[in-house]
Structure 1
Amino acid sequence: MAELVFSVRDLAQMRFAVSPMWEVGPSFRLLSSGVVHPVHRVWTGQVRPRVTAAGLDRGWLAELVPPSGYVPDFLNPTPPGPAPTLAAELDGILAADTERVRHDLDRLRREQGGLGPRSRALYAKPQTRLAKVAEEIRTYWEVALAPYWARIQAVLDADVSHRARQIAERGAAHLLNDLHASMRWDDDTLRLLRRSKALSRQTAGQGLLLIPSVFTGPVPFTRVTPPDPPQLAYPARGIGSLWEERTATGTAALAAVLGRSRTLLLTELGNPASTTELARRSGLSPAGVSQNLTALRDAGLVSAHRAGRSVIYARTLVAESLLAAVP
């Protein structure tokens, strides 16, 4: 058990953030494990073949994110705000100094019994090889997470809203006691029951950064790299319904505005898909699907993401809200 004592200043500096990189590492670990996850089964079934086809299962992330244990801390820079973009967090990774990268890789070597060839190359020349790591992360994001980000972000934002309401109505102590079964708040101290490594304010920095995640697994993850505030990534509420099929009903009113074909495509994009897949599902011609997707994309209702030779289309948050509002 680890214990983190809080002062008034630490509580004043406690905040939340939604972090793309805290989804990248845990989601990659889940894919590489080969486990059929009871919640993420739909997502892994769609994404794992794309990741393999892109060779990402044999790249930088495959060495830096092992199946279990420690992941280098430089991959999770402190989010500068409540909702940083992936680009902002990649800038943080690229800004990691040589000492930080080598310190983290030394720990990875100790815990994994060695480093792979890419990790050794990164150790030798961190400032030049970090760009390759960032490039692979961008590719992984486009293949595995960007098409689903609207749905993931909705769950994360809802969790933060719920937690903020808890603080407003019942105080920070109730929030910290409710975050996870392995966490306890008592006598101005947060106790992490499943963390084996020691934790103190002298080694952890001030405040606390709470990060909801849909891929962290059953146990919260921590990052402790002073002088940054300690980061604690915990399972977000609502993960169980994340990949449930969302059938849009009563869309006749929406079809009167968007047209039947475009409304049909939006409903079919409950699961992201390529033009060919959408043509097969909808019965529309590939040319017609492409033309309508362009119009939907121009209107901000659809996003496009490169996955090898294919382009995967997905509904945006605007489209999700629009479909949810249909009576």
Structure 2
Amino acid sequence: MVPLQELAFSAHDLAQLRFAVSPMWEITPSFRLLESAATHPVHHPWVEQVRPRTAAAGAARGWLAELIPPSGYVPDFLNPAPVGPAPTLAAELAAIRAAPVDRVRGDLDHLARHQGRLGPRARALYADPRALLPKVTAAVETYWELALAPYWARIRTVLDADVFHRARQVAERGTSHLLNDLHATVSWDDNALRLARRKQPLTRETAGAGLVLIPSAFTGPDLRTRVTLPDPPQLAYPARGVGLLWESRPVTGTEALAAVLGRSRTRLLTELETPASTTDLARRTGLSAAGVSQYLTALRDAGLVSAHRAGRAVLYARTAAAETLLAAVRVRS
């Protein structure tokens, strides 16, 4: 029977409890999902769109395939402690490149114990972390652009909504209610956080001060933890509302929006329910490729569209500002 682990909290620890939305915490579980043959009931639409792109890029043969096994332990240096409530991917990649050599090698030793051996890239990384960590972060950045960046505005909306809900719980009912409501395997009592089904010890001797709670869209039904001194322990949990993440949200009542943006630009925004290339959008809308490119440039300059390279193509996606604008149109219609 797996023991119940307890993490004690002082007043100082409670004062340092915080939330963070982390791009890197979505990398590992999303990569595992893409490399798995299993069909996922929630993320199936995303998998269908993204898997051909990552397969064409050779993701299954690269750095991430060696450092992120199908299950079990993932090196802790890939999930640096978030600085602030919403670190950018660039900030997190910089923290990975700055990881202490001893930590990288210790994490790789741990990975080897779990997996039986290290792959050739991981062995080279063990030999010279400083030289090869930039290659690791470059691989992460490539994967991000292919798989997550075009969808980040939509994902981020779900994660931010979860944080807002949890913060309101604290304001209205206190921290104990928040922690007791976080996950079925988490409970709070007598100044301690209890985690069921955790094999490794979780004490203040093995964890830093405070606690960072990280909502995740891809972590699945289970919790994921990172406990590495001197950093605060990190606890990634499934965000509320993930089940609705990929549901189609048809835009109605766009006449008023078209009067402001123009019919063609509005049409392109509505077509970007999922990220698409200029060629795809031209085919769907009947507009010329040159016209689509011109309109997308204007939308991008206005902060309503973002561009993400996917191999030889560029995918365009709605930004959070565009989602807010279209949500307002839905409400008024």
1:80-125 CA-to-partner distances (Å, cap 9, x unmatched) read: 1111000000010000011000000000000011111110110010
Partner Cα distance (1:197, 1:78) in 2: 19
Partner Cα distance (1:216, 1:223) in 2: 13
1:282-307 CA-to-partner distances (Å, cap 9, x unmatched) read: 22221221111111111111000000
Partner Cα distance (1:120, 1:33) in 2: 24
SS of 2:201's partner is coil
Matched with 2:204 is 201
Task: Give the length in aligned residue pairs.
Answer: 327
Partner Cα distance (2:37, 2:122) in 1: 22
- Code of the residue aligned with 2:22 in structure 1: it is S
Matched with 2:324 is 321
Aligned match for 1:29, one of 28, 32, 46: 32
Percent identity, aligned pairs only?
73
SS of 1:201's partner is coil
Matched with 1:87 is 90
SS of 1:202's partner is coil
1:112-159 CA-to-partner distances (Å, cap 9, x unmatched) read: 111111101100100000000011111111111110000011111111
Matched with 2:194 is 191
Gaps of 5+ in 2: none
Matched with 1:130 is 133
Scaled by the length of structure 2, the TM-score of the pair is 0.97
Matched, 1:44 2:47: yes
1:242-284 CA-to-partner distances (Å, cap 9, x unmatched) read: 0111110000110111111110110010100111111122222
- Code of the residue aligned with 1:170 in structure 2: it is R
Alignment of 1:149-188 (within 5 A): 149-188=152-191
Partner Cα distance (2:118, 2:13) in 1: 37
Matched with 2:306 is 303
SS of 2:206's partner is helix
Aligned match for 1:283, one of 286, 290, 301: 286
Partner Cα distance (1:300, 1:227) in 2: 39
Scaled by the length of structure 1, the TM-score of the pair is 0.99
Matched with 2:56 is 53
Partner Cα distance (1:279, 1:213) in 2: 34
Aligned match for 2:234, one of 203, 212, 231: 231
1:6-55 CA-to-partner distances (Å, cap 9, x unmatched) read: 11111111001000100111111111112211000011110111001111
Gaps of 5+ in 1: none
Please provide the CA RMSD for this pair.
Answer: 0.8
Partner Cα distance (1:2, 1:59) in 2: 36
- Code of the residue aligned with 2:292 in structure 1: it is V
Matched with 2:69 is 66
Moved over 6 A (4+): none
**Greater mean deviation of Cα atoms: 207-216 or 188-197:** 188-197
Matched with 1:312 is 315
Alignment of 1:12-27 (within 5 A): 12-27=15-30
